[in-house]
Structure 1
């Protein structure tokens, strides 16, 4: 994929893509989210925080925010445990 194609897909300039690739600037969080959505991967995968391309697709955006905001420096195993706890809490909530 060319820089121009990606730029059009995520609605930024080709020059912005060039600057990101050359380390002269960094994409905004919304641009990272757009890139992740375009390639159907997680933003954590793009930022090399995880090796899983698309973890936790069954969680809502709010559930992911809870799980990922607890501590950004935890291990993948700890993050999975937190996500599992979020899933259990949601199941229990639905039963009430």
Structure 2
């Protein structure tokens, strides 16, 4: 997984493996081994890669951002209460169906937003 991420980041910069190797002070064969999964970069190499590509080490490792699940649940519950209590929007009456549509839309929006991270 990390190898594919390194490869994708390198290609986004239109760099060769040799160019990346020179920047990181490793051999081109080492970069090839990382990208093909035959070797794993050291922790110092991961740190250097993250710094160079301006990403987090968690991103390189394929880890999602740490989330406070309790805060997320509380936020969703607050949003649900707010929508449930909404009676109008823009001067027009909101029906129960309107509220359910809005909740479904927001849930989908935040689910997709969190998957990208």
| TM tier, smaller | 0.5 to 0.7
| TM-score, length-scaled by structure 1 | 0.53
| TM-score, length-scaled by structure 2 | 0.44
Q: Which has the higher contact order (CA 8 A, sep 6+)?
A: 2
**What displacement does 1:20 show?**
0.8
1:8 aligns with 22
**What displacement does 1:13 show?**
0.7
2:24 pairs with 1:34? no
Q: Flag the structure with higher helix content.
A: 2
2:57 aligns with 43
Q: Deviations over 1:1-25 (max 9, x none)?
A: 1101110111111000011111111
Task: Give structure 1 stretches of 5+ with no counterpart.
Answer: 52-75, 82-96
Task: Give structure 2 stretches of 5+ with no counterpart.
Answer: 1-14, 72-117
User: How large is the RMSD of aligned CA atoms in angstroms?
Assistant: 1.9
Question: Structure 2: how far apart are the matches of 1:78 and 1:9?
Answer: 36
